[in-house]
Amino acid sequence: MDIDAEHRDLVGKPELLERYLQQQIPLSAAMGARVRLASLERVQLAAPLAPNVNHNETVFGGSAAALATLAAWSLLHLRIRHAGLEARLLIQRSTMEYEHPIPGDFEAVCRFADEAAWARFQTTLARRGRARLTLGAYLFHDTRQVAAFEGDFVGLL
């Protein structure tokens, strides 16, 4: 089965996005990442502590950064697919602010509502074959925010 045909529109289908991530980005499966919500405005991922634990029995920083990156990448991926664009999506730059140790299962939430920025991204991509968009994501343990991510993503035709 052609994975691209099966996953053309993943909006509102967290189980399909999860399967896509596990097949196309194997690290997500190794981390135990699960898709809780997949919309054009919000992607929410969750991961257990066990496969992401460090020597202090908290979440390894690389795992935290990876889940945040996956959440932001997934939201932009959903938008690109939903718009019918055939762009490749890459991360160009990212930063993480670790506010608190993460002592258990954790979630990454990426929200996006800047329709003007999305329109600029699409216009630039069509005109130049390359466009950039900055997204943020937040990590939570229970209901407490524990880290913040910001990344520049590049779409390439």
Interatomic CA distance for residues 74 and 35, integer angstroms: 10
Each residue's pLDDT expressed in tens, for the chain with a length of 157 residues: 334 444 456 666 789 999 999 999 999 999 999 999 999 999 999 999 999 999 999 999 999 999 999 999 999 999 999 999 989 999 999 999 999 999 999 999 999 999 999 999 999 999 999 999 999 999 999 999 999 999 999 999 9
Interatomic CA distance for residues 145 and 21, integer angstroms: 24
**Residue 19 lies in domain:** 3-156
pTM of the model: 0.91
* Pairing of the two strands 130-141 and 88-98: unpaired
Residue 6 is predicted with a pLDDT of: 47
CATH number, domain containing residue 83: 3.10.129.10
Residue 13 is predicted with a pLDDT of: 79
List b or e across 86-124, with b for residues whose CB sees 16 or more CB atoms inside 10 angstroms.
Answer: ebebeeeebebeeeeebeebbbbbbbbeeeeebeebbee
Residue 151 is predicted with a pLDDT of: 98
Number of domains in the chain: 1
